[in-house]
Chains A and B, each alone.
Chain A
Amino acid sequence: MTGGTADLLDACDLARSYMIRRGLLGRSTAVRAVDGVSLKLARGETLGLVGESGCGKSTTARLVLGIEPPDEGVVRFDGAAMPRSGTSAWATLRRRMQMVYQDPLQALDKRLTIGTQIAEPLDIHRIGTPAEREQRVAAVMAEVGLQPHHAGRHPQSLSGGQRQRAVIARALVTNPDLLVCDEPISALDVSIQALVLNLLMDLQERSGMGMLFVSHDLRAVRQISHRVAVMYLGRIVEEGEPDAVLHEPAHPYTQALVSAIPHPGKTASRVILQGDPPNPANRPTGCAFHPRCPVATATCRTETPDLKPRASDGRRVACHVAHGEASSARAPASLETC
């Protein structure tokens, strides 16, 4: 899937820190939200990015779109470096890269009608005549499954699913090459989640755009993605085909994530994570996962593992144990949970 011509999106060694003020004296500490993330995305491909909340997936999404500048690393979109946020070159690029948000009610302006807001990217980028814009808005609304009469409604008079469809319509109205979805279904009712997920898959297939799908929901990611990357504390720890990664996880963290998915009728072999949940402000040395890792060795405490293909099957994973570089009392369990 990753093959072909030049990548649509090529992010290389992205890092981003935030200063957090704590305590009475306001001494600030740097929190590395994203720490050396590289990812590539081809046209027509969907990359799923999973991890717990606070692992830096949303920050990665914002860096990829150029909303925030990375402290280190570069983002290249369609072969060209990302212009600085707020410049006119950056603004022009917006018609080609769009975003879908977690909370559609937050992402929409409550004082404007849905139709006006879906048309707004066309207004901003001065695409087409007013009549053409109207046609395009009607077409894209039909595409996402909104009724024509919804155009005159305000966001708060629509249901959650309809609002998210409106946000998707607004993102698609300029026919973007890249769509970044940041937890697009997690704020929706469970019954709506599958519909929106299917809609996104359909749209992606039809338009051939690249899609970065950020979620903590492993099953949604598995369903929609062509490739999946697992993040832990600002780094990608494992990457590969979704079925392979989620069926046979190589990294102990992925194993724990996968085993946490509830399965009817299957109770065995849950890996319970030990220790404290991760705190990005206080990053452990070596492999950041080692305090919670059931198979951690001395090497894991001191040396940070690189993300590189595993010798056996080429799966990209960042784990000393998985690469056989560190001998452990227990080999990483190959769980057959799915």
Chain B
Amino acid sequence: MLHYVLSRLLRAAVSIVMVVTFVFVVLRMSGDPATVIMGADAPPEAIDAFRKAWGLDQPVWIQYFAFFEAVFSGELGRSMRDGRDVVAVVLERVPSTLSLTVPAFLINIAVGIPAGVHAALHRNSLIDRCVMVMAVTGFAVPSFILAMLLVLIFSVNLGWLPSAGQDSWLNAILPIATMGFGGAALLARFTRSAMLEVLGQSYIRTASAKGLPWPAVVWRHALQNAAIPTITIIGFMLGGLVAGAVVVESVFSWPGVGRLLVVSVANRDLAVVQAIVLMIAMTMVAANMVVDVLYGLVDPRMQGQARGARR
């Protein structure tokens, strides 16, 4: 088990090195990092100081290591817009984003998994069909269209809920609903197919044939085995949730990290973009690692396999 956790940690470290390398390469390829990060209008002495601080007069590989040092000490530059430290600029938006993504994630799980299990246990019932239709719609209707349809119905036509801003908790309902629906549909679909696969296995038939009550079969055998693929999907869903936040925050003018990213890309406020990409990437790597370790705990068979366990 220790070896398994260590190998996951190593993989996470490699991923983080690659993320930082990616940002470094993109930054180098897009022009002079000093003007890119500080902005072309920055005073020359500030640019000189920046060059010195980042060692831009040094060979590339020294710059590369200097970049790592800067990233891990949190020196990611200043925002072009107001000159503040980008880490602070991004961090102050995080609670806003979490106030959407955490409830949405809970809805995903609280709705998606029971719906999927129920649909699988009552195959071809009305509920099963509803779940399948919802699941397919959830994939095909992109979040920005769903968001706008919800605005059209609940804000424009019915006038029940506000369509933009962050004035009261009512503002959060539509964004959370948008993100909650898409993820729940996806999760329901995967839970359903994982359950159906497990229910078709011979050990389920054996368990019910030897007289175990059906609820006990479902609880003891089916659910616990279906949990394995489902945890995998939840790991992937985190990525979808982040991408969803970018779009949904933009639609609802919600002042979170996602909107900050889109606005910064549009304004080419590159120091902010760089900080957000690094932070999201590291969060994702950490989350994936946690999922991997959870996976190993649930399914001891996976521990021997160094790679490919989640595919």
Contact = CB atoms under 8 A, between A and B. Distances in A.
Establish whether A and B are touching in the complex (CB under 8 Å): yes
Interface stretch (A20-28, A80-88, A169-177, A275-283): A20-28
Contact of A23 (B4, B304, B306): B304
Contacts of A24: 3-4, 303-304
The 4 A-B pairs with the shortest beta carbon distances in the complex, nearest first, are A24-B304, A25-B3, A24-B303, A26-B306
Contacts of A23: 304
A26 B306 CA distance: 9
Interface residues of A, number: 4
Interface of B: 3-4, 303-304, 306
Nearest to B305: A26
Contacts of A25: 3
5 contacts: A23-B304, A24-B303, A24-B304, A25-B3, A26-B304
Interface in A1-53: 23-26
B306 to A, nearest CB: 7
Contacts of B4: 24
A48 B92 CA distance: 78
A169 to B, nearest CB: 40
Interface in A173-219: none
A23 B4 CA distance: 12
A contact patch SS: loop
A23 B306 CA distance: 12
Majority secondary structure of chain B interface residues (helix, strand, loop or mixed)? helix
Contacts, number: 8
B162 to A, nearest CB: 55
A23 B304 CA distance: 7
Nearest to B3: A25
Nearest to B4: A24
B12 to A, nearest CB: 19
Nearest to A21: B304
A165 B3 CA distance: 51
A21 B17 CA distance: 28
A75 B303 CA distance: 41
A24 B303 CA distance: 7
A114 to B, nearest CB: 37
Contacts of A26: 304, 306
Nearest to B304: A24
Contacts of B303: 24
A318 B306 CA distance: 43
A128 to B, nearest CB: 46
Contacts of B304: 23-24, 26
A25 B304 CA distance: 7
A24 B2 CA distance: 11
Contacts of B306: 26
Nearest to A23: B304
B204 to A, nearest CB: 28
A25 to B, nearest CB: 5
A26 B303 CA distance: 10
A24 B4 CA distance: 9
A29 to B, nearest CB: 15
Nearest to A24: B304
A26 B4 CA distance: 11
A23 B3 CA distance: 12
Nearest to B303: A24
Nearest to B306: A26
A25 B306 CA distance: 9
Max chain A C-beta neighbours (<10 A), residue from B4, B304, B306: B304
B36 to A, nearest CB: 44
A26 B304 CA distance: 7
B296 to A, nearest CB: 11
B6 to A, nearest CB: 11
Interface string A52-85: 0000000000000000000000000000000000
B8 to A, nearest CB: 14
A24 B305 CA distance: 8
A8 B306 CA distance: 45
Contacts of B3: 24-25
A25 B3 CA distance: 7
Given A24-B303, A24-B304, A25-B3, 5 more contacts: A23-B304, A24-B3, A24-B4, A26-B304, A26-B306
B137 to A, nearest CB: 39
Nearest to B300: A24
A24 B3 CA distance: 8
Interface string A273-293: 000000000000000000000
A29 B303 CA distance: 19
B307 to A, nearest CB: 11
